[in-house]
Structures are given as structure tokens and as C-alpha cells.
A and B are shown apart, each in its own frame.
Chain A
Amino acid sequence: MSYLQTNVFRIANLGQLKSRYKLYRIDGLLPDSDNYYRNVQIINRKVSFRLRNPALVILADGEPHLVLRDDAQEPESPFQLIGTTAYFRSTGQTLDLDYEHPTETTAPICQRFLQFALTGALQSAPGLWQPSAGESFYGRQPVMSRNGVDVFRGFSVRVILLGGNAIGLCVDVSHKYVSSHPLPARPSKADFRRLKGTRRVYRYGSQWYDIKLHEHSGLTIVQHLVPDGKVGNISLRDYVLRNAQKPLPPELLKLDPDGAALFYMTGRDDVKAAVAQLCYPVFETEHPRVQRLHGATILPPGMRRSLLVGFARKHLLGLSFCGFKLQVDSDPVQIAKQRFMEPDLLFGNSRVYSVRGTQKAVHIGLDELGRTRLTALFDKAVGTYATRPLERQYIVWPRLEPHRRRARPPTPDASPPRVTPTEIR
């Protein structure tokens, strides 16, 4: 029998993973309200960030409930959402989670808790960095460097539900394009206006992560003061040198004291300062400098499979979290190939072509199917199944302003552009 290869690894020892969860009823969040799904996403994300614990909204008896691990702190309540305020009321229930035999209700909770724990464990794995929550984990050495662009290879790991509520890890390969050179150490405020809102990889010693530049502080890294525990306020430069993981990489030892301090926002909506000299531009795949490199990162299936199997064996097998040592199968799940018989095709004038030998149909072999189908469409004696005139057609075209000098500036937070339907008669 032949098999289909997948990129999903089965977890072998789920029976050893134990956790408990508590439930909160959510008042103020109505499942039929306009922004229900957006608000659910906001709760899942923001409560997780604030409590540093997995959070998930589920529907129990038609009512939204918040699920938290039993060791999580109490969630902030009231909690501001879009257009409403949510109140979390404890149900007093603490329940066991069976990862080996999840039910339809508990399977998404297992998935969320496991994803959170797994991500946390991989974040502290040596040699890997994750730009931001939910993204892939990348190696620190670029696999390719061209045109001033470093290409980092990474792996995404997603906990997925398999048939019968079993749980597996879906692993895939991805690439990230980062400038080989950081921003200038001293961008002026006018220079910064072009950088505002853009994403950069901040290389804070051995910790690398994505930040979105928010504002120029107007101060140097020596002038800008940040609180550092009991030491009190110290300069950003000293803070970085004191708190970055040792040994310090050479770029941290060469910080320009007159370099600029830039502001960015964290996932908890805190404002933090970054050293401009440690911010590396990130390129999207459509960037002109990346377009040629992008082709080289599309890997042949065999190589892709071998890379992700290597990643699973090196980084997932034996990964420890919550007192649990992960055991995954060393090879991904294989699925037996399933065949199906091509259905009969009905054309104009009630002509039926069949590869399965249906009575009163024209019998053809599978190897003739494509050619016969094309010929039948243009055959006046056969033709298309539907012969009615086409209904009115529309083309949707963005409104253009030819007299404008510039292209519309990118506004990631803005609403999508409206379009004007144009009728073609």
C-alpha cells in the first residue's frame, strides 16, 4: 500500500500530561453581538499576555466562559472590550484536563494550553529566536546572505487536533528576511517619520524579537533614563549592558553614546525604549531586495520534509515543560492513499460521460477524460450543461485619482479601501 506523507507528528506520551483549569462566566459579552468574535480574540490575547498564562473563551451551555489554568492569577474585571465591558465571574469550578482522551469541549482547551506551554519552552531553547507571539522559531545563523539581506530559516509548530480528538504537532518551514545592517545609530526626527510604524528585529543581546517603532524619544541612549529595579533610573545604554544576557555580543560593546533611543509598545501596551543601533529592518517577500531571494527559499518537498523531521528530532523530542517531557514520533504521520472513482459528467443535450461504466452514458477511459471534456464543451452537438444567457456581470475596481502625485500611504490600522461597483452591460 502507498502512503501520503504529512508534516504532523503524533505526541506519544499525552497520558503523562496533566493540568487543571478553572472557569469564569463572562457577563457583558453576548454571542450574537456585532463584535463577538473580535472581542473573543481580544480576551484570548490580552488576558494571556497580562497573566502570562493561556486563556481561552469557550461556549458552555450557549454562554461564553473564560478558561484559565488553575495556577493563573485572577483576571482583571471589568475588562474593556470593543463596544462593551466584560465581567469575569468565577464559577468556582476547577476541572481536570485529560489530554489523552479529550472531549469535544476540552479538545480546544488542551490545544490552547499545550500550544502555550510548548511555545514557552521553545522560547527558552538555545539557538532559537521567535520574532513575536504566534510566529515561527528561527535559527540565529542566516542560511543565506545576499544584497544586504540575511535569510533566517525557521519552523512553525502548531498543536492541531487529529481525527478522534487526538493531538498532534504540525511543523512547517518558513523564512524571514532581515537586513544585514542595523538602522543608523542617530536617525533624526525627520528620518524617523519614515520609520514610524515599521517593524524591526531588536537584537537585545541574545534576545531577538520584533518591535514596531512608535516614536523618536528625542534623546540619546545616555540621556534617556529607564527604571532598573532597586538601582533606580539608569541610562538606556547602561540598562542594556547590565541586563542583556552575558557574554555580551560585540555589537553591544560598540554602542554609540550619542545614538538615539526609540520608543516601541509591548504586547501589554507598555512603552519601552530601544537602541536605534540594535534595530534591524525586516523585509516582506514583495520587497525588491527580497524578490530574487524568495525563489531560493521555496524548497523541494524532499528537502522540506527532511528539514522539518530534523527540527522535530532536535528541538521537540525531549522538550520539557510543566514537569512533562515531550515524546513525539520520530517520523511524521503517514496516511494511506485513498482513491475515489471520477464521478459522471453531465454536458449539454443530456450527454453523460462516464469512466465508471454507468448505463446509458458514453463510456471513456480515465486517460481520455480531460481531452473528451474539452472537446465536448466546444462540440455543437454537446456543449455546456447550462445554455441560458449569462446574468449581469460586475467588475469591482478601486476608485483611482489620476491627478494625485503619490501612491496612497500604507495605513495598516486603517479600514480597507471602499470600492465602487461598475456595471458592465
Chain B
Amino acid sequence: MSAIPRLQHHFEDLPKQAHAAKLGMWLFLGSEALFFAGLFTLYAAYRAHHPEIFRLGVAHNDLVLGTVNTFILVTGSLLVSFAVNALRLGRRTWAILLTLGTALAGVAYLVIKGFEWARHMSEGIFPGGKGSFFVENPEPAWAIFYTAYYGLTGFHVIHVTVGVGILAWTAWWMHRERIGPAAAYKLAIVSLYWHFVDIVWLFLWPLFYLLRNPA
């Protein structure tokens, strides 16, 4: 049986149902964008208060690892886009593999991020301005820079983790033939979520890795 999604009783036809699902996901992503906006506002305000130390803090982050992470996430987005297309064309195996590939990209991102955090912690940098680093660098702005760093990247990590979970779950459903070509919109809305997570990183990357040179 090739997984024709059930038309829910209140929708006129399947295209309407698919359209509603996509609209719903876009609206939800709008709320997620505002979620991160609050955090970006915090960063912006504090960077305006303490421009030099924020710059130094960004310079202290590992540019290579940050850029590798960018490539990983963008590749993941590419893969999941191909997966949606594959599913629409009926190539179920490719769709599943590509989706899992995206999930794997997410996991790789998490591993690298974890490694970065571990390195910071070994230098005595903990959220809340705790740790030996802040004894050596007593200027208060260091504390707020790193707390904002942990806060923003941590919040993003939560979203990446959720994304990985949902991708894996969707791949499983495709495998069990509960999502087939006619229900490709379901994979499409998952991919929308992943693209959003990717875009947030494309803002985090400059704020925490690229903006390191003197004005």
C-alpha cells in the first residue's frame, strides 16, 4: 500500500490539507524566529555596551570549528531538500537515506559544539561568569559575553537536537510506508524546520565567530 495520507474530515481535499500544514509550519517558524530574536536583542544590546570585549571574545572562539559547523548544517539542509524531491518522485530509499544523512549532519554539529564547550570549560569558562578565566579577566563584560554565548548556542543546540529527533522519526515513518509520495508535504514541513534551524546558525556564526576584527 503506498501511503496515501488520510484526508481529515474537515478538509475539502488533500491539496488543501497539505497547504494548511505548510501554512501552520510557517506560522510556527515565525514564532520561533521571535523566540531567537529576544536572545539576539540581548546580544546586540550588550555588544553595544561592551564592544571591545565582545570582539575579543569572538576572536577567542575557534573560527575553524565554527565554519566547519556552518558547512555541516548547510550540507544537511541540502540533503533534506533532495530528500523531499526524492520522496515526491517515489524514490523512497533515497529519501530515507538523505533524511538520515541530514540527521547525521545534525549529530556531527552537536559533537563539534560539545567539543567546543568542553574546551571552554577546561579553560575555566562557565556560564554566569564562573570559573578561573574570569578571575584572570575580571572585567565584567567577559562574564556577560560568555554567558550570552552559552545561552544562544545552547538554545540553538536544543533546537538542533529536536530537529535530529524529528528527522529520524520521519525517516522511520517513511521506512514503514506511513509517509509516501502523496504525503511528501509532511517531509517538506520537517525540512522547513531544519532550514530554520540552519538559518539561525547562519546568524550565530557571524555573531560569535566572524565579527572579530577591529572596526
Q: Do A and B bind each other?
A: no
List residues of A whose CB falls within 8 A of some B CB.
none
Show the binding face of B for A, using Cβ within 8 Å: none
